[in-house]
Amino acid sequence: MHKVAIVKCNHYEEEKIDSAMKNALELLGGVEKFISSGKKVLLKPNLAGPYSPEKAVTTHPSLVKSLAKIFKAQGAKVFIADSPTGVHNPSYLKLVYKKTGMEEIAQETGSELIYETEAKEIFYPQGKQIKHLTIFKPILDVDILVSVAKLKTHLYTRFTGATKNLYGTIPGVMKVAYHSKFQDTDKFSQLLLDLYNYLKPKLSIIDGIIGMEGNGPAWGKPKKVGVIIASEDALSADWVACQIVGINPQTVPILYLEKVSPPEIVGAEIKEVTIPDFHSPPPTTVKDGLIAIRWVPKFLRDRFGYHLLSQPEVIPEICIGCKICIQGCPQQTIELTNGKAWINEKNCIRCWCCSENCPEGAIELKQTFLGKLFTRLV
């Protein structure tokens, strides 16, 4: 049984974060269990894009700073890196590091930001979904990988935490290719599990002080949860996070595909920190168990269920025509018309990359006519 530490923490003040982080590590056996002198440690935060920490889209820099200080005190050399979706070059990475606060904390702690963009193909014969993984090479050049994730909902995978955070080890352009190849949510989630089982981070931390509810992972609403979650096992950490915010783990593909069992809880109990009014993401795949079509025969659900689902729609008044959604669309189903993005719904696979990548929040979920009609019939 894996051990998961839950530590209450309601603010991003440096002293409180440091105290909570040290507490979490002690509950797991102490920092020396994970880090030793001379080791190269890579902190992998969730840096979905150039968002400020207040938006709750990215891992808050205060947690990364705290870990960097603790690990450096153990004599480790600390690196910070991520590979955001879409454009993956040094200039974009510099923008992301600056906006997310990583540039500042790297300077303050003497940690090294990674701007290298080289990728490497890995043969992984144990993979259930994929045997060859293309991974951001700097991830492979360190001794210890630490996932420092953000607690958020996700329109495609329902929840994103410590395990899904590792998708950021895939170079930006390859993320688009994998989304296109694995359009089924279960197949895509099995890819995430193959990636996790190959990389096996030594430690996983989830920033659940301020999480995100609703239309995550980029345009949901910040929600105070008030916890830091830590574990040697990312899947167990995710299981606990889901329980805290009221998301049934059996509805999260990575958790039901891997058959994750309840872990051993240390620190605060789940019932002490449960959030009763946390808003889950709306159904975006037929497999979400859309209550509106449960009574419809399976062959009809398979054929027509897709048309009942919400679809992405561009808000012209907000769209600035930056083309970021076009670059990140795995189906290449978005084009610029009169200076505004336009989505060809026929080719859309509902992966929600456009919504996640849009820097202006110009893509919203729109329920289809059939979806509204069937919902009224329930």
**Which of 218-253 are b and which e, b meaning 16 or more Cβ less than 10 Å from the residue's Cβ?**
bbbeebebbbbbbbbbbbbbbbbbbbbbebebebbb
Query: 234 and 304: one domain?
Result: no
Q: Cα(170)–Cα(340) distance, rounded to whole angstroms?
A: 29
How many domains does the structure of the chain reveal? Answer: 2
Q: What is the reported pLDDT for 286?
A: 46
The 8 Å CB, 24+ separation contacts for 12-19 are: 12/53, 12/60, 12/62, 12/209, 12/210, 13/62, 14/62, 14/65, 14/66, 17/62, 17/63, 17/65, 17/66, 17/228, 18/66, 18/69, 18/70
Last residue in a domain, options 223, 248, 273: 273
Q: Choose among 57, 160, 47: nearest CA to 105.
A: 47
pTM: 0.88
Last residue in a domain, options 273, 303, 329: 273
Name the residue range of residue 295's domain.
Answer: 286-377
Q: Which one-letter amino acid corresponds to residue 40?
A: K
Q: Cα(62)–Cα(65) distance, rounded to whole angstroms?
A: 5
Q: Cα(210)–Cα(75) distance, rounded to whole angstroms?
A: 30
Is residue 78 in some structural domain?
yes
The per-residue pLDDT string of the chain (378 residues; one tens digit each, 9 = 90 and over) reads 899 999 999 999 999 999 999 999 999 999 999 999 999 999 999 999 899 999 999 999 999 999 999 999 999 999 999 998 767 789 999 999 999 999 999 999 999 999 999 999 999 999 999 999 999 999 999 999 999 999 999 988 999 999 999 999 999 878 888 988 998 899 999 999 999 999 999 999 999 999 999 989 998 999 999 999 999 999 999 999 999 999 999 999 999 999 999 999 999 999 999 999 999 987 655 454 444 455 556 666 556 555 666 788 999 999 999 998 998 888 899 999 999 999 998 888 878 888 888 888 898 877 666 555 554 444
Query: 312 and 240: one domain?
Result: no
Query: 182 and 249: one domain?
Result: yes
What end-to-end distance do the CA atoms of the chain give, in Å? 41
Q: What is the reported pLDDT for 296?
A: 57
Is residue 224 in some structural domain?
yes
Q: What is the reported pLDDT for 87?
A: 72
Q: Cα(219)–Cα(364) distance, rounded to whole angstroms?
A: 9
Query: 69 and 161: one domain?
Result: yes
Helices (H), 261-323: 270-273, 298-304
Q: Is 334 exposed, middle or buried (0-12, 13-18, 19+ CB in 10 A)?
A: buried
Last residue in a domain, options 273, 303, 336: 273
Q: Residue 300 maps to which CATH number?
A: 3.30.70.20
Query: 254 and 333: one domain?
Result: no
Q: What is the reported pLDDT for 229?
A: 98
Query: 102 and 219: one domain?
Result: yes
Is residue 299 in some structural domain?
yes
Phi and psi torsions of 44, nearest 5°: -110, 90
Q: Residue 46 maps to which CATH number?
A: 3.40.50.11440
Q: Cα(354)–Cα(334) distance, rounded to whole angstroms?
A: 9
Place of tokens 């025509």: 321
Is residue 269 in some structural domain?
yes
Q: Cα(12)–Cα(207) distance, rounded to whole angstroms?
A: 10
Query: 95 and 180: one domain?
Result: yes
